[in-house]
């Protein structure tokens, strides 16, 4: 009888216990995958940020704007290929006042620098052609029931509209994303529409400037040169490549991320307790049988392998079951709710192949590790003693 | 009835299995009670900022103080609305404030993190009833003296009594006091003179919000109606407590949701663990069960003894887990509050309720984990078992 066949037989022996154990393993895998997906989804923006894109904002605080004339100065600087700008609009739809979403007033060439928005050429054209046009993410559009051509009125606490002329927009384009770091719940409007409607004192200001450099390797130098350029001007700037910028945003949440990572390891620990307990019991019940096998001439090494294989096999079956549960539950259920309600933070809630592989390899390794002690117990007993054991 | 010692002794007899299972349950209880404590801490911090008899006025369409822009002149008009309490000198008790954020250098890792800076007037102190200075004194009005919340102290460069730093370029400020305020989110803020803040952050003539103390909690409707009726203003009026509840919704809901989800999954895993342990223990005791039946113990009393055994196991684990989790009460978590876009310090808040509900969850795990094995034990027939 081959080793694998014996291991399978071992699993069929105490069916109630083994099935319960495998369910426990599958629940652990499901939880592990869920928590790890939260982490990857949260950190994904930093991973995808292109190295050649720089963001320049006010040195002290992002709530203070930069003068519009800086854009031209930045564009003419050494190493800069393209420059665009945007202001945080802070719009809210009074018809859906419990839904918050991010809205940016963007320059005409915004989509050239942020090329990860995917939108049909025709819709893009229509958005650019209409001064009061808006381009919204598909997740947001679905959630609020907006269609192309729909008229929308927004209120903004940052840019209060005059009572007789509220901020009205026509949805001209609905975008999806070509990169998983894009928040598909954003509302884009034209900066020029905003600017022209503002009182003179607040005109010609931008929230931040984004640029693409000619050489990603020199990004650090180019950024430093930009800040140097404005060092003695009216407003000082802080320029970072997008990766470092995202990393600094993430650093603010590092405690939460660390906590989630720790919890995901605790569930594996709980799983190893359950699995180890089961294997321990199953070996303890079969000491006599192992004695018989050894009396028949099977080497200890063979028995150790058998016990470890049995344990890993149980872990593997539980792990596969857990993954089979994870995909529909996380991607169809929880993930959709998260993308809709927390899209800014967790824009792309999908299980990555790495996580799935990590979970599966993890449980198999744990399955093997927890079997070591019982396996040692099974083989350390003298054959004569083992045979005397009453089951 | 079978005496309780029977259940207890059984657990002690199979030490290794009992410990492994109880430890698993302890971990589950630890995690779920920690999540509960953190959510309670976040709610406490954000809600302690709001008082029932105070109101806050923001620009319509803003989702928080940071995205609300009000003209300075509005304050006088709002303060003339009905329903506002009077200060000792007979003026209405209320003031406009400006909230901005600024990057400051964190001492622990040298990184720049965002800190809330509130431009205040001397009325601001009178509006927060729980506020007290734990070191130093209140700032003199219209000076560059600032005070800091106690959670900020020592966390960022320059934030210590007697030190000074530049708020923005060429705007030096001196820290003259540290205040505490019922563990509220104000304790994670820096308070500077309103006009100084306006000038430093290019917000001349602008405020973020107007806060007033109402004559009584019931005066809110009168106050709100008067302001909302006036269409010139386009303002949003909230009871302060409601406003902060709304602010804490996002973060606390996230923690509670993920905490609950994790607790449920964890509990299932641990419950299965308890079930396996109990089941094995029954299988090994077939003969013993038969003996008990032969001695005249009823099926029900066997059922209860086994369930009791399982519950004892689970509750022991639960108590250990809950006890260890209360140690987190000493831990402070500094994290981004997405509602204010700034770093805020939260504490784990142990409460009798979280601990009891954690132990109760453990009890449920024991109950359900023990049910199937107990039924199985109770069904063992005396005669055949004794022959095994």
How many whole angstroms separate alpha carbon A193 and alpha carbon A131?
Answer: 6
Please check whether residue A358 touches B, CB under 8 A: no
Query: Do residue B287 and residue B182 come from a single domain?
Result: no
Q: Give the pLDDT of residue B260.
A: 81
Q: For chain A, which residues make up each domain, given as ranges?
A: 3-46+253-388, 65-234
Same domain, B147 and B175: yes
Chain segment B127-142, per-residue pLDDT in tens: 998 899 999 999 999 9
Over range A225-236, report the average pLDDT.
86
Domain count, chain B: 2
Residue-level pLDDT at B189: 93
Work out the minimum CA distance from A43 to partner chain B, whole angstroms.
15
User: What digits encode the pLDDT tens for the residues A35-49?
Assistant: 999 888 888 877 777
A16 chain-B contacts, CB cut-off 8 A: 279
Q: What's the pLDDT at B258? A: 79
Task: For chain B, give the percent of residues with pLDDT over 90.
Answer: 29
Q: In whole angstroms, how far apart are CA A37 and each of A40, A266, A347?
A: 5, 16, 11
Q: How far apart are CA B344 and CA B245, in angstroms?
A: 16
Residues in A touching B17 (Cβ below 8 Å): 277, 280-281
Q: What is the pLDDT of residue A195?
A: 94
Confidence band of A390 (pLDDT split at 50, 70, 90): low
In this predicted structure, which of A249-263, A297-311, A345-359, B371-385 has the lowest mean pLDDT? Answer: A249-263
Residue A391 has pLDDT above 60, yes or no: no
Q: Is the pTM of this model over 0.90?
A: no
Average pLDDT, rounded, for chain A: 87
Q: What is the ipTM of this complex?
A: 0.76
On whether the CB atoms of residues A163 and B231 are closer than 8 A, the answer is yes
The pLDDT, as a whole number, for residue A52 is 85
B37 and B71 in a common domain: no
Residue B276 is part of which domain span?
Answer: 4-47+247-387
Would the CB atoms of B273 and A277 count as touching at under 8 Å?
yes
Q: Does A295 touch chain B (CB under 8 A)?
A: no
- Provide the shortest C-alpha distance from residue B110 to chain A (in Å): 12
Asked if B282 and B357 sit in the same domain, the reply is yes
**CB distance from A116 to chain B under 8 Å?**
no
Q: Is residue B70 part of a domain?
A: yes
CA-based angle A252:A212:A65, to the nearest 5? 55
Examine the domain organization and report whether B128 and B255 are in the same domain. Answer: no
DSSP A116-156: TEE--HHHHHHHHH-TTEEEEEHHHHHHHT--TT-EEEEEE
Residues B378 and B295 in one domain: yes
Residue entry with tokens 């005070």: B147
At residue A86, the pLDDT reads 95
- Quick check: A192 and A131 in contact, CB under 8 A? yes
Q: Smallest Cα–Cα separation from A67: which of A77, A57, A76?
A: A57
Query: For residue A115, is pLDDT > 90?
Result: no
- B259 and B121 in a single domain? The answer is no
Mean pLDDT (whole number) for A54-80: 88
Clarify whether residues B197 and B324 are in a common domain: no
Cα B314 to Cα A136: distance, rounded to the nearest angstrom? 51
pLDDT of residue B57: 93
d(CA A172, CA A122): 10
**Residue B258 token pair:** 């993920």
Chain B touched by A157 (CB under 8 Å): yes
CA dist B342 and A21 (Å) reads 45
Report chain B residues whose CB lies below 8 A from the CB of A160: 59-61, 69, 234
Per-residue pLDDT at B253: 74
Strand B172-181, strand B145-149: pairing:
parallel
pLDDT at site A10 = 76
Chain B contact set for A256 (CB, 8 A):
335
B301 in any annotated domain: yes
Model confidence at A9, in pLDDT bands (50, 70, 90)?
confident
* A contacts of B276 (beta carbons < 8 Å): 17, 20-21, 24, 274, 277-278, 281
Q: Do A269 and B27 make contact, defined as CB atoms within 8 angstroms?
A: yes
pLDDT of residue B250: 67
Asked whether the predicted pLDDT for residue A102 surpasses 80, the reply is: yes
Q: Give B19-46 pLDDT, tens digit per residue.
A: 888 888 898 899 888 888 888 888 888 7
pLDDT reported for residue B280: 81
SS3 for A33? helix
Q: What is the DSSP letter of A101?
A: -
Q: Is A187 helix (H, G, I), strand (E, B) or coil?
A: strand
- Pairwise CA distance, residues B33 & A42, whole Å: 24
Residue B17 pLDDT > 90: no
**No. of H helices and E strands in chain B?**
11, 14
Look at residue A356 and tell me whether its pLDDT is greater than 90. yes
Nearest CA to A211 out of A76, A60, A120 is that of A76
Give the pLDDT confidence of B223-272 residue by residue, as tens digits: 999 888 876 677 889 998 888 887 777 667 777 777 888 888 888 888 88
Is residue A180 within 8 Å of A347, Cβ to Cβ?
yes
More confident site: A14 or A229: A229
CA distance A42 to B338: 14
Is B205's Cβ below 8 Å from some Cβ in A? no
* A68: confidence class by pLDDT, cuts 50, 70, 90: very high
CA distances from A389 to A284, A290, A308, B199, B287 (A): 10, 11, 22, 87, 17
Higher pLDDT residue, B28 or A29? Answer: A29
Residue among A284, A309, A295 at smallest CA distance from A371: A309
Together in a domain, B172 and B82: yes
Whether residues B166 and B271 share a domain: the answer is: no
Q: What is the DSSP letter of A97?
A: T
Q: Which of residues 47-86 of B touch A (CB under 8 A)?
A: 58-63, 66-69
Supply the DSSP symbol for B156. Answer: B
CA angle B234, B237, B239 (to 5 degrees): 175
pLDDT in tens, B103-115: 888 888 787 788 8
- At residue B338, the pLDDT reads 67
- Candidates B367, B372, B379; CA nearest to B302 is B379
Instruction: Provide the pairing of β-strand B342-347 with B112-120.
Output: unpaired
Nearest to B146 by CA among B113, B206, B102, B80: B102
Better-scored residue on pLDDT, B65 or B1: B65
Neighbouring C-beta atoms of residue A98, cutoff 10 Å = 7
User: Smallest Cβ distance to A160: which of B23, B234, B343?
Assistant: B234
How much is the average pLDDT of A51-63? 83
Q: Residues B341, B101: contact at Cβ < 8 Å?
A: yes
pLDDT at A216: 83
Kindly state whether residue B206 falls inside one of the protein's structural domains.
yes
In a domain, B106, yes or no: yes
Is residue B75 domain-shared with residue B217, that is, in the same domain? Answer: yes
Q: With an 8 Å Cβ cutoff, are B20 and A273 in contact?
A: yes
Q: pLDDT at position A47, please? A: 76
Please indicate, yes or no, whether residues B228 and B276 belong to a single structural domain of this protein.
Answer: no
| DSSP per-residue codes, A303-318 | HHHHHHHHHHHHHHHH
């Amino acid at each position: 009888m081959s080793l694998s066949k014996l291991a399978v037989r071992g699993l069929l022996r105490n069916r109630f216990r083994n099935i319960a154990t495998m369910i426990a393993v599958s629940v652990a895998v499901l939880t592990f995958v869920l928590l790890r997906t939260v982490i990857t989804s949260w950190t994904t923006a930093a991973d995808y940020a292109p190295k050649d894109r720089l963001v320049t904002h006010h040195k002290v605080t992002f709530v203070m704007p930069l003068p519009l004339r800086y854009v031209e100065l930045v564009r003419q600087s050494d190493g800069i290929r393209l420059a665009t700008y945007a202001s945080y609009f802070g719009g809210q739809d009074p018809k859906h006042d419990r839904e918050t979403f991010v809205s940016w007033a963007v320059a005409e060439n915004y989509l050239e620098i942020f090329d990860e928005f995917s939108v049909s050429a025709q819709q893009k054209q229509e958005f650019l052609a209409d001064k009061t046009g808006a381009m919204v993410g598909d997740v947001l559009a679905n959630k609020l029931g907006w269609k192309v051509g729909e008229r929308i009125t927004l209120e903004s606490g940052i840019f209060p509209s005059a009572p007789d002329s509220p901020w009205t927009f026509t949805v001209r384009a609905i975008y999806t994303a070509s990169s998983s770091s894009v928040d598909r719940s954003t509302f884009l409007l034209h900066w020029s529409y905003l600017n022209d409607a503002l009182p003179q004192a607040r005109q010609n200001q931008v929230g931040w400037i984004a640029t693409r450099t000619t050489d990603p390797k020199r990004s650090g130098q180019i950024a430093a040169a930009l800040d140097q350029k404005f060092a003695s001007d009216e407003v000082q700037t802080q320029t970072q490549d997008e990766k470092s910028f995202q990393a600094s945003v993430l650093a603010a949440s590092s405690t939460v991320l660390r906590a989630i990572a720790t919890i995901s390891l605790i569930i594996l620990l709980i799983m190893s307790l359950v699995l180890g307990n089961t294997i321990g019991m199953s070996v303890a019940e079969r000491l006599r049988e192992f004695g018989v096998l050894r009396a028949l001439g099977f080497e200890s090494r063979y028995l150790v392998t058998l016990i470890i294989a049995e344990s890993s096999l149980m872990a593997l079956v539980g792990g596969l079951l857990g993954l089979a549960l994870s995909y529909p539950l996380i991607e169809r259920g929880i993930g959709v709710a998260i993308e809709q309600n927390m899209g800014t933070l967790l824009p792309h809630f999908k299980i990555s192949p790495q996580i799935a592989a990590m979970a599966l390899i993890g449980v198999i390794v744990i399955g093997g590790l927890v079997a070591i002690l019982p396996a040692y117990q099974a083989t350390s007993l003298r054959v004569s003693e083992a045979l005397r054991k009453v089951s | 009835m079978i005496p309780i010692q029977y259940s207890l002794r059984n657990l002690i007899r199979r030490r290794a299995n009992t410990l492994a299972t109880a430890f698993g349950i302890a971990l589950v209880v630890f995690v779920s009670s920690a999540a509960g404590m953190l959510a309670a801490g976040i709610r406490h911090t954000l809600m302690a900022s709001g008082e029932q008899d105070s109101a806050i006025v923001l620009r319509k369409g803003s989702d928080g103080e940071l995205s609300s822009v009000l003209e300075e002149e509005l304050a006088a008009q709002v303060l003339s609305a009905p329903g506002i309490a009077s200060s000792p000198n007979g003026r209405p008790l209320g003031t406009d404030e400006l909230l901005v954020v600024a990057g400051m250098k964190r001492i622990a890792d040298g990184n720049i993190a965002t800190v809330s800076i509130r431009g205040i007037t001397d009325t601001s102190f009178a509006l927060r009833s729980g506020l007290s200075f734990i070191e130093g004194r209140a700032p003199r009005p219209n000076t560059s003296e600032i005070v800091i919340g106690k959670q900020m102290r020592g966390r960022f460069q320059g934030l210590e009594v007697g030190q000074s730093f530049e708020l923005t370029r060429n705007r030096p400020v001196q820290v003259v006091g540290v205040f505490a305020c019922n563990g509220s989110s104000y304790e994670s803020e820096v308070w500077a003179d309103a006009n100084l803040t306006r000038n430093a952050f290019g917000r001349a003539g602008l405020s973020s919000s107007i806060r007033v103390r109402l004559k009584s909690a019931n005066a809110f409707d009168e106050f709100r109606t008067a302001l909302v009726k006036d269409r010139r203003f386009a303002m949003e009026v909230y009871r302060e407590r409601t406003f902060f509840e709304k602010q804490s919704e996002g973060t606390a809901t996230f923690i509670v949701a993920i905490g609950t989800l994790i607790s449920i999954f964890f509990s299932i895993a641990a419950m299965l663990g308890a079930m396996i342990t109990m089941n094995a223990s029954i299988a090994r005791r077939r003969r013993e069960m038969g003996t008990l039946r032969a001695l005249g113990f009823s099926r029900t009393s066997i059922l209860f003894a086994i369930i009791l055994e399982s519950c004892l196991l689970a509750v022991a684990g639960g108590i250990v887990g809950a006890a260890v989790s209360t140690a987190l009460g000493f831990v402070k978590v500094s994290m981004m509050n997405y509602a204010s876009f700034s770093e805020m310090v939260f504490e784990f808040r142990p409460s009798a309720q979280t601990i009891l509900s954690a132990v109760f969850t453990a009890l449920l795990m024991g109950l359900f984990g023990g049910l199937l094995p107990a039924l199985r034990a109770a069904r063992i027939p005396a005669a055949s078992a004794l022959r095994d």
